[in-house]
Amino acid sequence: MQELAAEYGIIIGVGWAKDAGETCENHYSIVAPEGEILDYAKLHPFGFGLESKFFRGGETLPCCSCGGFEIGVQICYDLRFPEPFQILARRAGLLIIPANWPADRREAWNCLLRARAIETQAYVAGINCAGKVGKLYYSGDSVLYDPLGNSLSAKIREVPWEDRCPEEKLLLYEIYDDTKKYRGSFPVRADRREELYARFLGE
């Protein structure tokens, strides 16, 4: 991926599994022409799907600077846990969620993505699997929400490979980091009571 990023002068996000001894970690890395700029390990292995039997959870919430944005990442099932999103939003204006989210739960996918955008007043990009994998069907539903929770329109391009499924497509967005404008005009985050929340968690 680093060689491709350098060859084409682009930035690539890629999911991969890391050997962690007796278990593995579910990772997502962002690779730029000059090398890796972010490596995140999924915090919440999916117990219902037995992921937690083979994968352990990560321990860090990294951000990186890219394309004028500070970017944070969560992976798939992490979407159901809002606390890390609030922590990332202290720095990040763009939150990326790559996922294998099945069509049976597509309403939850869209609802939670939109909620995370509204809660954090950040751009939220959901990047989902498309097509059939084993017994599961993935409807794609990749989307970008703005800090108000509006779904943004994309320029759509057909993917170039022959064996593509109907749900696969390339979505092109052009955005810039104006999250300070959104947060300044409606300063919800200024009313958060972090110390109080921490006290509740301690109890």
Nearest to 67 by CA among 98, 40, 93: 93
| Maximum separation of any 2 CA atoms in the chain, in Å | 56
Tens of pLDDT, residue by residue over 86-110, are 999 999 999 999 999 999 999 999 9
Tens of pLDDT, residue by residue over 144-202, are 999 999 999 999 988 777 777 778 889 999 999 999 999 999 999 999 999 999 899 88
Given this model, what pLDDT does residue 203 score? 62
β-pairing, 130-133 with 123-128?
unpaired
Q: What is the DSSP letter of 151?
A: B
Distance CA 103, CA 109 (A): 9
The tokens for 161 are: 């490979």
The pTM (predicted TM-score) of the whole model is 0.93
Query: Residue 4: what are its φ and ψ, rounded to 5°?
Result: -65, -40
In DSSP terms, 25 is beta-bridged to 18
